[in-house]
Structure 1
């Protein structure tokens, strides 16, 4: 989160477009949580696979969003780089949390 705040403050003050990446952080885990509620067993099904597909699309969008903003010169490339560093750190944290051991033997880790 520190890199994301720096992306908004350091290159050009009061440009808060990189903060829209926070929406992707929240929305990327929702399909997986919803699919997990409907599928309690160990097997995978099309609903779970579609939820993982939506999650991957949102993660990809979180990385593409600052690049598109920097390419269109809405934000600087420094802000885009700081946002990308923030994305890597935050998504690795989410991934580490999701792969923790669970009381159930889920095929994709604890969150999945």
Structure 2
């Protein structure tokens, strides 16, 4: 989140646009969480496959949006390439953190009393 705030803090005009990435950060884990609650114990399940696809679309869109905003017409780009680089760095860190959370807490029979 620090890189995302830094992308918004660069001295340029209308630089609050990179903060829209927070919506992608909040939406990315929902399809996977819902599919785990609704699907059975099988490893291949249509519900889980659709959730993986939707999550992939959200993640790719999160990487594509700053590039599209930076490649706006040269007369008035929405964000500069420095902000786009900081947003992409923030995307990498946040999505790897979300993936690490799912990998660490994937086991359903975790004994929470030991925490």
Same fold (TM over 0.5): yes
- In the other structure, the counterpart of 1:85 is 89
Greater Rg by CA: 2
Equivalent residue for 2:101?
97
CA RMSD of aligned residues (A): 1.6
Distance 1:6 1:28, change over 3 A: same
Which runs of at least 4 in structure 1 moved beyond 6 Å after TM superposition? none
What TM-score do the two structures reach when normalised by structure 1?
0.86
Unaligned runs of 5+ in 1: 106-112
What secondary structure does 2:49 align onto?
helix
Mapping 1:1-112, distance limit 5 Å: 1-12=1-12, 15-72=15-72, 73-104=77-108
The number of residue pairs the alignment matches comes to 105
